[in-house]
Chains A and B, each alone.
Chain A
């Protein structure tokens, strides 16, 4: 059998066993291993399998993942999400829909210390949704707002998706992080604007909140300052080339621990919970990365990426048209697949095509994160919607999906803007030195 045929069958088998529930990393490793056996030799595949996993686990560049995950976990267990919400509430609280706006602003702030979309949604959901319920917000709207805003977690640095993408395509993680800043702020502003318009049209969606005292105002500010310290340390260090990504993550995690200890908000039980959380998330990600490495080797020897690149390259479609198709594919596949798995599976196959067509890898990374964000709130596998459902079990899942719809429109708008004006993503990283 031709290597390309084996490769195509491999992709089909992988998708089937994905959908039948084999963990994503296991499925990629297994199919990659069997495929490599068939295309090369069984003995080559048997030596490839443990080697790829060992090299993944012992990769210094991947050690950035546990560091940033740890930073986010410490921020969560030491109550930073709550303090950020209090700070944002002071700014927006008294406006109509103000609590929802405050939640989005606080989510954007928390995204600056947490690199995962579902962790951001969970952290802010636990803090913000009960408050919105207390003030009589429409429950689907409140839940949908946080589910969508959680997407800021992987757009505003740090971001696990940018790290994985950067390693897959060998781009600077620092530059990728910085490229997410402007689109992240833009998306947060569009979300806030969406809340503003929605609550003008239907004031029952989000009534105004109560007044805050001066004492609350001053206390609230400290919540922003601690976030700015961590964000400034991490991003400033990366931007100026002082830290490597792993060092930036470690510095951020240490700063989060020190802040938690100074505030007396980090008892040992919370610290241990953060460690456990970090270990399980890291192991989950790394097994997917290891599996994807094996699968990627299989794809390379089956020459699928080259075949797809040549095939699409010869089609009478403009590069922008091809990009449109790629985005459409990501949105559709994102409805059914986990974002990390989708990126791991598709980037090694599609990236050669993207560079061949002359697109900027950093810009493409931002586009990928944007479409991934759409995937986390679209049915049937909108992970953030399920995370929020876990926070508010009494709100029907359909109401949460409905609540995300206006924000989905906002995401599509920002994605379109980045497509038309790539500078939104590429301007800031052009100043970065790392």
Chain B
């Protein structure tokens, strides 16, 4: 016969898996955010070095503008997932907050499905876009830096954002179950 403890363990097992998954994905998002931070410092240093080069030595850093633009992908793309972890993407929530809990939970799930759909398409087609650019051999004008690694990077980060949303989705499904059983 199943003891109470094993029963509890059996019920808690999938939740434990979700918590572990959440922990790993949040950690991955955090590290991507750290890369974005390095990109930000790099961008600042590059622009300042370029200013000094132009104003003091009359020689700008070759390809500074295009490198800043590429660093933009790192600064922004790599920070998107962690911003979602922190729920930092602006949304209007004052209406949903006034809904009855059951209805609000359902709306929450529907909105997460929409968000996930967007990021699935974004991830998939960003990878395809990267492949197309790679095949075409597109490079920047001055430094001849290839575009495609940055598009792959962006696609990967969109994929991680999808995973963050997926965890939120599973958690809100669990929440629906809890609200319903109440």
Contacts and interface: CB of A to CB of B under 8 A. Distances in A.
Q: Check if A and B associate.
A: yes
B69 A58 contact: yes
Contacts of B51: 243, 247, 250-251
B167 interface: no
A338 B89 CA distance: 12
Interface stretch (A62-70, A76-84, A155-163): A62-70
Contacts of B41: 275
B75 A279 contact: yes
A22 B91 contact: yes
Contacts of A67: 43-44, 47
A103 interface: no
B90 A340 contact: yes
Contacts of B22: none
Interface residues of B, number: 55
A343 interface: no
B89 A21 contact: no
Contact of B76 (A70, A247, A254, A282): A282
Contact of B83 (A19, A58, A284, A381): A284
Nearest to B55: A242
Contact of A57 (B43, B55, B72, B91): B72
B121 A283 contact: no
B90 A284 contact: yes
A57 to B, nearest CB: 5
A380 B76 CA distance: 31
Interface string B93-120: 1111000000000011011001101100
B114 A279 contact: no
B160 interface: no
Contacts of A58: 69-70, 72-73, 150
B139 to A, nearest CB: 13
A66 B90 contact: no
A274 to B, nearest CB: 10
A50 B126 contact: yes
Secondary structure of the A contact surface, majority rule: helix
Contact of A284 (B36, B89, B93): B89
Contacts of A280: 79, 82-83, 86, 88
Given A23-B115, A63-B43, A284-B83, A337 B92 contact: yes
A363 interface: no
A30 B94 contact: no
A53 B72 CA distance: 12
12 contacts: A21-B95, A21-B107, A24-B91, A26-B89, A27-B114, A49-B122, A250-B48, A275-B41, A278-B40, A280-B79, A283-B79, A284-B88
Given A49-B125, A276-B37, A280-B86, 19 more contacts: A19-B92, A21-B96, A23-B91, A29-B122, A30-B114, A46-B125, A50-B155, A53-B154, A57-B73, A58-B73, A59-B72, A60-B68, A246-B68, A247-B47, A247-B50, A275-B41, A283-B82, A283-B89, A338-B92
Interface of A: 17-27, 29-30, 33, 46-47, 49-51, 53-54, 56-60, 62-63, 66-67, 70, 242-243, 246-247, 250-251, 253-254, 272, 275-276, 278-284, 286-288, 336-338, 340-341, 380-381
Interface of B: 33, 36-37, 40-41, 43-44, 47-48, 50-51, 55, 65-66, 68-73, 75-77, 79-80, 82-83, 86, 88-96, 107-108, 110-111, 114-115, 117-118, 121-122, 125-126, 128-129, 150-151, 154-155
